[in-house]
Structure 1
């Protein structure tokens, strides 16, 4: 920049970068005195520039790449559930062995989510995304060659570690590069790909598994195709500008912003909220897990830990154990796969409806509505007098599992400032995985000792708790921000969002 504006107090020059220039020019023209913290206001400029980032070919390519990464992540988790009957028939696995494999996956995702988020806050989002895709794809590919339980358990843990980190950082990245007013819809867009994995895996299992006794191995082998995503992750995705700013790398943040926002027009800094950020600077100096349990973050973190625990238990129980539930009710072969495939349609439908619904209703209302649909679905599963009613109940359960994903992702990401966002999301997500590690053993014990009967009532109880915690989160937010009209707003550490989500993706 060869243009110069009057320097800010304490600064030798006001045009050291375009971020500085945008800020200084607007301050100079508006007559405002820069009495607020310079770094905090510079972050507001970045958010304002992100707000006008268009949905052009580059942004669509970024969202599609992240969506495909999430698809492979979800597909790995679901593939075990559809292959489980074949593992019991071909390798002699018991229900308790399936529980061990599921728990190993959840334990790995717990560790990966927590540590991956922390690593991403220290070293960047893109590095963790690349590593997660690479290691996760190789791990899934290796399942095709397993011969026994011990190596399978070890590989499930290793792959879960990589995919747990991948998912958390992918959602964090989407939030940080999206226009603040469109974070919910773009998170839902990426999550949509994850929920379509239910259809993809169910369809592939329906086609591949009946081909031969060992054809189930190909369901896992196809997961290796995720390696192809390392190419666009390397060359298409810029590092998160907000993360770069939180690390003091303002020139790199400017370059990343310029790759997303190519408008030459300066932003209207005078219209942005001005607030003293001295408290934020202290938080930035710490940037530790302990900060999640301090001050205003304590109660939201505890509530989110509970929310993730109940949701992951309910979602995993349905996705992993539904084929086994059908088997215990007498469904076999193609009938089992057909019923499971019909139910799986609900996931992506749920995400699509949330992309529309979040334009018009508060997020907490959507969360309670989705939980209510799941409760009705659980009742139908429990009392189903016919296969058709059973399929409808399963469709409602999968619908709720898919619809709740973007809601809980955006809710969690909106609770934390940039320098703690991945850590906060990773920790609460990881906590949910930790508490759900015991879930498969609980479900296995119920199915073994009591049969399929109590299973839907357990799911109903979990979704009832999800509805309760969602209401408590909303009440906590309204108590702290009585004038806040939308759950979509972000109020921490200089991050802000429009009062409601935009109607555009």
Structure 2
């Protein structure tokens, strides 16, 4: 571990970290609102624009097509030009495209703008966790990053509230909710100007003086009011420093599929693919599926709202467990329990059974994400952390792209049983990958993980 890393590890959780949590978390909130509100917009567009089930499925996948390319670009650029520049650019792209998507009247133009908005949202989502986790000490990194991901739940609940109260109440309600999801991002873009670049990334690029300046500011922030810093542990600084060689795009991707990293990379791809496929096969279609199952649009939105609210305890319970039982155990447990709930949902008959199974499935699938967002950045070394996280997130978005389209084809012939039976099988695959291919990260510094597991 380098001196800079040891300085990060000794920092107690402070106001600086709370600001990081709030700024990163609000970004995830708006990303989630933008993605989730489409589920409430689609039933209206289906009627207003006379769209087929396949067209609805393609529209539902538009964000995730953008997510795929955004996550790839963010990961690659985050390691080459810095985490902060990527995050700020992604947020601006998302804001502009999302606003314009609420102004159009043609489904093909709407599709194109949702892809661009998804590009910005996907880039931001892919960079926030690896970026902000590099500021955090090992003893609370899992809880911090899991709680950061927990802000997704607030965005989904807010989208469900907007869908429930505004979409059915006004002929142009769907446009109003899109504007509401995009406009507050302008304030967040302004606020984030104060965020520094990751000192760990700066150090990996040989920019030691800049990294030390940021660390000085972090330590000064903590010492305001007379608080003292713990003494540095000399033993922590004894390990060799990380490589100072600056990477290139193809070299970074080659690193991810070489040596021990190929197993880790493959594990993250399967983990992300399984949870993202399962998640969006459920949440993108649930309002429409409930309507097609005989509910009114208002009742289906009410049921969806309750299921979305279940995300909040799901995320934050898993964030707490990240440091108690470890990321691997949290992810596997929540995936397995989510699979059982999906299996139960496949055989429900009454509205009450649908509600109970849907709430539990929402709880466990979102809890899985709290583990996934904490775990993914930890298993890659600093030089390729953003590239590895971005590629895993991008591969996960393939699940987000294909899941709504597959549900559009499967539901008319196989019903609830077919859709949620498929979800169960995919979750079991992800749990197996994390169990047998993952590595332990709880209570370990990022440098220790890289040195002992990946070198």
Q: TM-score, normalised by structure 2?
A: 0.92
Is 1:65–2:46 an aligned residue pair? no
Pairing of 1:194-209 with structure 2 (within 5 A):
194-209=152-167
Distance in 1 (alpha carbons) for counterparts of 2:247 and 2:50: 53
Aligned partner of 2:384 among 420, 444, 450: 420
Query: Can you give the 5+ residue segments of structure 2 that lack an aligned partner in the other structure?
Result: none
For 2:85, the equivalent position in structure 1 comes to: 127
**Is 1:246 the counterpart of 2:246 in the alignment?**
no
* 1:457 alignment partner in structure 2: 421
What runs of 5+ residues in structure 1 fail to find an aligned partner?
A: 1-40, 478-483, 498-505
Question: Which of residues 273, 292, 310 in structure 1 aligns to 2:274?
Answer: 310
Given that 1:114 and 1:423 are in contact with CA atoms closer than 8 Å, whether structure 2 keeps it comes out as yes
The 3-state SS of whatever aligns with 1:453 is helix
Give the Cα separation in 2 of the matches to 1:385 and 1:436.
27
Q: How far 1:282 sits from its partner (Å)?
A: 6.1
**Alignment equivalent of 1:228, drawn from 153, 165, 187:** 187
Structure 2 distance, partners of 1:266, 1:457, is 52
Match of 2:166, SS? Answer: helix
1:48 to 2:6 alignment = yes
Deviation at 1:490, TM superposition (A): 4.9
CA offset digits 1:315-367 (Å, max 9, x no partner): 11111011111111111122111111111112111111112222321322222
RMSD between superposed Cα atoms in Å: 2.2
1:340 is matched with: 304
Quick check: 1:144 aligned with 2:118? no
Please say if residues 144 and 221 of structure 1, whose CA atoms lie closer than 8 Å, have aligned partners that are also in contact.
Answer: yes
Please say if residues 105 and 156 of structure 1, whose CA atoms lie closer than 8 Å, have aligned partners that are also in contact. yes
Contact 1:187 1:406 survives alignment (8 Å): yes
Q: 2: CA distance between counterparts of 1:244 and 1:359? A: 27
Deviation at 1:130, TM superposition (A): 0.9
Alpha-carbon separation, structure 1, partners of 2:327 and 2:132: 18
**Residues 465-487 of structure 1: CA deviation (Å, up to 9, x unaligned):** 1211121124xx3xxxxxx6x54
Q: Which residue of 1 aligns with 2:71?
A: 113
Q: What pairs up with 1:313-392 in 2 under 5 angstroms? A: 313-392=277-356
Alpha-carbon distance in 2 for matches of 1:402, 1:69: 17
Could you tell me how far 1:52 is from its partner in structure 2?
A: 3.0
**Residue correspondence of structure 1 range 131-280 to structure 2 within 5 A:** 131-224=89-182, 225-235=184-194, 237-262=195-220, 267-272=231-236, 274-276=238-240, 280=243
CA shift for structure 1 position 273: 5.8
Provide the TM-score with structure 1 as the length reference. 0.83
Residue of structure 2 aligned with 1:296, choices 260, 280, 298? 260
Distance 1:79 1:227, change over 3 A: same
Change (3 A) 1:395 1:78: same
1:214-248 Cα offsets, whole Å, 9 max, x none, are: 2111110112221110111112x111100111111
Distance 1:374 1:66 in 2: 27
1: CA distance, partners of 2:95 / 2:30: 8
Alpha-carbon shift at residue 493 of structure 1 (Å): 7.2
d(CA) in 2 for partners of 1:446, 1:72: 31
Q: Equivalents in 1 of 2:272, 2:56: separation in Å?
A: 23
Corresponding residue for residue 393 of structure 1: 357
CA contact (8 A) 1:134 1:230 kept: yes
